[in-house]
């Protein structure tokens, strides 16, 4: 266990003894440094690196498919694929070739690593993990050596632990498996990828240890076609951002060990967190617990969870405060967004906040009853109206606009493009590549101008209400959707 320490101690003791005896140690020191350098470079060259292989009794074996919220489709597809590994005898009888690779494809934080770990548990396999970037080296041949080492390590670990299966998880496979022959590809990269292909082709169901490669990527388009060829990663499982039901399940999983107050409705939180990944939701529950701790509360309340949503989206509150004038402008701007949001989609404002955080000076968070994947032209125009309302409100109340709206404009122009490319503009159905840029620009401007004048007329009629809300918001810094709605004339 302490062999390294004992060896170093012994060498130091010997050197001291020889020095005391009056023997000149300088030549020996040079020799030792020389040998050390050779060993070091050799280990670099041969990929002297071990891959993370969590031990038998660690967390890996504890991740089950049931511990992963949402992702029902991905879990079913994965389970189906893994049956091939669990039921080897039947598979052999039917002459089916073994499954060698599964590619998990989806944005970060959606549970791909968890799925790979759960797959290892489901098939009673040892689990090894590596990232694509660990194979990228300057020296030709090192990456390929590392691939060989990874496969050998998986097999020997399985033997050691008396298991018949091994799962190797390679995260960010696009780094190692990018297309060959392109500008950024070079000989070392090609050798590494070739080695992976060779190793995968060499896997057979007759071996003592069957190895399954699970790879994760967010960019399947970047992968070399050879990797996706049948017999390699021929199963692709899509791991998408969770929908509302999925988010609720993930929230339930991550609040299992946390005391929640009676006022907490996780379903509402799931509704308010469209676009959140599993990792965001985990961080949200954790932040909420930290907020409860800071306030010395024993239970996590609904307010804690809502503040945590804001924190996860917008970052920590800033100490640097904007001037009073700036704060007033921020508030006017946000009230503009909130008014249009409420007018176009009643009940849609979740919070208005003007306490500056690291990612935004102020913001309006909208809630959504159901996840929406398709939008009509009216819905898109309503979204454009909400985006433009901040700048228009500044103009009406303060007489001019500011740079604070540049993000809003980007969002508005993107939405206008969606209208055009969706064939819903005056241009009719168009091909994305062939719309002349001037025509695109003029059509986009027409859509934006049209919505802008609607927003202007609407906000003028709400001007007195906006002034009242402004006073309250500046005082309280944050308003919940319900508080905001109570101040509107229609309620």
- Closer residue to ligand ADP in complex, CB, 116/209: 116
* Cα dihedral across residues 473, 476, 477, 478: positive or negative: negative
Backbone φ/ψ region at 276: left (φ over 0), alpha (ψ -120 to 50), beta: beta
Residue 273 interacts with ligand ADP (CB under 6 A): yes or no: no
Residue 255 interacts with ligand ADP (CB under 6 A): yes or no: no
Provide the 3-class DSSP secondary structure of residue 75. Answer: helix
Could you tell me the smallest distance in angstroms from the CB atom of residue 305 to ligand ADP? Answer: 16
Backbone dihedral angles phi then psi of residue 236, each to the nearest 5 degrees: -115, 125
285 token code pair: 């529950």
Q: Which helix (H) or strand (E) holds 436?
A: none
Stretch that binds ligand ADP, among 65-73, 81-89, 361-369, 440-448 (CB under 6 A): 65-73
Q: Out of 279, 318, 355, 474, which residue is the one contacting ligand ADP (CB under 6 A)? A: 279
- Closer residue to ligand ADP in complex, CB, 70/390: 70
How far is Cα 434 from Cα 442, in angstroms, rounded to an integer?
Answer: 15
- Closer residue to ligand ADP in complex, CB, 283/465: 283
- Give the DSSP letter of residue 433: G
Q: Catalytic residue among 77, 172, 282, 334, which?
A: 334
Residue 216 interacts with ligand ADP (CB under 6 A): yes or no: yes
Residue 212 interacts with ligand ADP (CB under 6 A): yes or no: no
Stretch that binds ligand ADP, among 40-48, 267-275, 276-284, 298-306 (CB under 6 A): 276-284
**Whether residue 182 lies in the annotated active site:** no
How far is Cα 225 from Cα 412, in angstroms, rounded to an integer?
Answer: 37
Q: Which helix (H) or strand (E) holds 224?
A: none
* Cα dihedral across residues 188, 190, 193, 198: positive or negative: negative
Residues in contact with 186: Cβ distance below 8 Å, sequence separation at least 6, in sequence order? none
- Closer residue to ligand ADP in complex, CB, 235/317: 235
Stretch that binds ligand ADP, among 110-118, 190-198, 328-336, 360-368 (CB under 6 A): 110-118
Q: Out of 250, 338, 380, 444, which residue is the one contacting ligand ADP (CB under 6 A)? A: 250
Residue 113 interacts with ligand ADP (CB under 6 A): yes or no: yes
- Pairing of β 165-171 and β 210-217: parallel
Residue 112 interacts with ligand ADP (CB under 6 A): yes or no: yes
Could you tell me the smallest distance in angstroms from the CB atom of residue 249 to ligand ADP? Answer: 7
Instruction: Please list every residue from 282 through 301 that binds ligand ADP, using CB under 6 A.
Output: 282
Q: Out of 105, 110, 165, 366, which residue is the one contacting ligand ADP (CB under 6 A)? A: 110
User: How many residues are recorded in the chain?
Assistant: 491
Residue 342 interacts with ligand ADP (CB under 6 A): yes or no: no
Q: Which helix (H) or strand (E) holds 171?
A: strand 165-171
Stretch that binds ligand ADP, among 108-116, 144-152, 221-229, 316-324 (CB under 6 A): 108-116
Backbone φ/ψ region at 325: left (φ over 0), alpha (ψ -120 to 50), beta: alpha
Closest by alpha carbon to 474, among 273, 325, 258, 315? 325
Q: Which residues bind ligand ADP (CB under 6 A)?
A: 68-71, 108-114, 216, 250, 253, 278-279, 282
Residues annotated catalytic, as ranges: 334
């Amino acid at each position: 266990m302490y062999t390294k320490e004992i060896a170093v101690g012994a060498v130091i003791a010997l050197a001291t003894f020889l020095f005391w005896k009056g023997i000149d140690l300088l030549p020996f020191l040079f020799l030792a440094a020389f040998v050390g350098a050779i060993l070091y470079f050799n280990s670099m060259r041969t990929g002297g690196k071990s891959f993370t292989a969590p031990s038998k009794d660690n967390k890996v074996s504890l991740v089950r498919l049931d511990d992963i919220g949402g992702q029902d489709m991905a879990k079913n597809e994965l389970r189906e694929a893994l049956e091939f590994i669990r039921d080897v005898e039947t598979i052999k009888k039917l002459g089916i070739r073994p499954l060698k690779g599964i590619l998990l494809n989806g944005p970060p934080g959606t549970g791909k690593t968890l799925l790979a770990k759960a797959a290892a548990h489901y098939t009673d396999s040892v689990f090894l993990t590596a990232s694509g970037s660990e194979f990228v080296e300057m020296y030709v041949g090192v990456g390929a050596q590392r691939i060989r080492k990874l496969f050998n390590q998986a097999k020997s670990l399985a033997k050691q632990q008396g298991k018949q299966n091994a799962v190797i998880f390679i995260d960010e496979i696009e780094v190692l498996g990018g297309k060959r022959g392109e500008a950024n590809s070079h000989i070392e990269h090609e050798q590494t990828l070739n080695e992976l292909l060779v190793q995968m082709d060499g896997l057979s169901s007759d071996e003592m240890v069957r190895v399954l490669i699970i790879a994760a990527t967010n960019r399947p388009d970047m992968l070399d076609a050879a990797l996706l060829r049948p017999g390699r990663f021929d199963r692709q499982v899509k791991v998408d951002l969770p929908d509302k039901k999925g988010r609720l399940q993930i929230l339930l999983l991550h609040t299992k060990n946390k005391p929640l107050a009676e006022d907490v409705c996780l379903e509402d939180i799931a509704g308010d967190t469209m676009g959140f990944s599993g990792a965001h939701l985990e961080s949200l529950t954790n932040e909420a617990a930290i907020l409860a701790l800071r306030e010395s509360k024993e239970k996590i309340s609904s307010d804690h969870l809502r503040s945590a949503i804001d924190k996860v989206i917008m970052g920590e509150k800033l100490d640097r405060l904007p001037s009073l004038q700036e704060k007033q402008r921020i508030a006017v701007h946000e009230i503009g967004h909130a008014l249009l949001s409420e007018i176009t989609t009643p009940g849609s404002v979740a919070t208005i906040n003007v306490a500056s955080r690291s990612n935004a000076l102020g913001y309006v968070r909208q809630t959504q009853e159901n996840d929406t994947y398709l939008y009509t032209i009216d819905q898109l125009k309503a979204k454009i109206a909400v985006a433009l309302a901040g700048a228009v409100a500044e103009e009406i109340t303060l007489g001019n606009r500011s740079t604070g709206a540049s993000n809003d404009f980007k969002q508005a122009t993107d939405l206008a493009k969606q209208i055009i490319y969706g064939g819903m503009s005056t241009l009719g159905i168009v091909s994305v590549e062939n719309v002349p840029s001037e025509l695109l620009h003029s059509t986009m401007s027409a859509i934006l101008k049209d919505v802008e004048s609607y927003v202007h007329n609407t906000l003028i009629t709400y001007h007195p209400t906006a002034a009242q809300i402004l006073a309250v918001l500046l005082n309280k810094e944050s308003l919940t959707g319900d508080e905001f709605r109570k101040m509107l004339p229609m309620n």
